[in-house]
């Protein structure tokens, strides 16, 4: 293993926006460790690895379990002999009226989206501290910035992610570890396919988006890479919306779920 090549850990890197981030990092000559609870992610890692001269390796773990989070980062470090970047892209979403949210759903969403991100940050900290530097990007959401119907659990978890980002950025700045987040808006992914195919719902979204279009996964990946890179060396503790201007608009126009 060439120890001069940077190594990135991407949770949830086998699908959706996480996969786009992995593809961008590979293109920038970075080895990638994909962390996912599903063994199926291993097939994606093998596919990406076969198409690149940089290594893409799958490591199975449930990031909402602290011991598993610590253990998987240890295995990654033992394999690659360094950890430079972390992208917390793993996440789930549930929808239900606030008064009817099931305790199991609330706990599951918070565990994966918020607690899992925090555990992974804790897990990479000693390895980044050892070399006096590293960069972390957490995935927030535009729903961390305003209220919405039927999305209490998801919005709460992502709001917490933004606070974790700010707290760690302040506390770890002395170790030259930067921590930022991104808040994607409506992006063309399998998760948003229902919106893009439904002309009525699509128009509701576009009417509130100044750029009048959905974003592309590669546009999110580009911002994530910028925040990880030395080009953003004086940027820490910030959240960057990637939403075509939606959050800059009139709050009264924010679309309900």
DSSP 181-238: EEEE-SB-SGGGHHHHH-HHHHHHHHHT-TT-S-B-HHHHHHHHHHHHSGGGTT--S-
The structure tokens 């961008």 sit at 24
In the residue annotation, 154 being an active-site residue is answered as yes
CB 176 within 8 A of CB 182: no
Structural tokens at position 120: 């992974």
CB 246 within 8 A of CB 137: no
Give the C-alpha separation, 136 to 57, whole Å: 19
Catalytic residue chosen out of the listed positions 77, 154, 186, 225: 154
Cite the active site residues: 154
């Amino acid at each position: 293993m060439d120890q001069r090549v940077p190594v990135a850990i991407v949770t949830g890197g086998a699908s959706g926006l996480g996969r786009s981030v992995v593809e961008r990092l590979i293109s920038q000559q970075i080895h990638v460790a994909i962390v996912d609870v599903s063994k199926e992610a291993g097939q994606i890692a093998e596919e990406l690895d076969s198409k690149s001269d940089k290594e893409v390796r799958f490591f199975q773990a449930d990031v909402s379990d602290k011991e598993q989070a610590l253990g998987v980062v240890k295995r990654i470090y033992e394999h690659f002999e360094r950890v430079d970047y972390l992208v917390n892209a793993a996440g789930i979403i549930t929808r239900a009226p606030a008064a009817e949210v099931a305790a199991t759903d609330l706990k599951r969403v918070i565990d994966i989206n918020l607690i899992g991100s925090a555990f992974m940050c804790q897990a990479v900290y000693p390895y980044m501290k050892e070399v006096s530097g590293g960069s972390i990007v957490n995935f927030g959401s535009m729903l961390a910035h305003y209220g919405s119907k039927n999305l209490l659990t998801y919005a709460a978890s992502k709001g917490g992610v933004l606070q974790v980002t700010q707290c760690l950025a302040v506390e770890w700045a002395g170790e030259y570890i930067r921590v930022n987040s991104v808040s994607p808006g409506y992006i063309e992914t399998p998760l948003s396919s229902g919106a893009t195919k439904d002309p009525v719902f699509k128009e509701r979204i576009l009417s509130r988006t100044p750029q009048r279009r959905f974003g592309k996964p590669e546009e999110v990946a580009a911002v994530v890479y910028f925040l990880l890179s030395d080009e953003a060396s004086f940027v820490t503790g910030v959240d960057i919306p990637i939403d075509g201007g939606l959050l800059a608009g009139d709050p009264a126009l924010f679309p309900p779920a």
